[in-house]
Amino acid sequence: SGPMHLAGAAGVPVVALFGPTNPDDGFFVYRGCIVRHQCECQPCSLHGQTQCPKGHHRCMNIEPVRVIEAVEACCAGQ
């Protein structure tokens, strides 16, 4: 997450992908957006982990089209 924080602090547009962690815990997007797949069990980790406590990692089911749309929106200045 280091490059994401540096880019955000420098005012560079950021498309941040979040899985098991909560983007409200320590990251603020000045320019850009957050993409995540909402799950009933989120967040399950403060800093991320390799094993899902529920055994499914559904939070990582982020559709590529959502990421592309977010990048296009950032490039368009939205």
Domain residue spans in the chain? 2-75
Tens of pLDDT along 8-50?
Answer: 888 888 899 988 888 887 666 677 888 999 888 888 887 777 7
Confirm if 35 and 60 have CB atoms less than 8 A apart.
no
CA distance 69 to 74: 9
User: Does residue 78 carry a pLDDT above 80?
Assistant: no
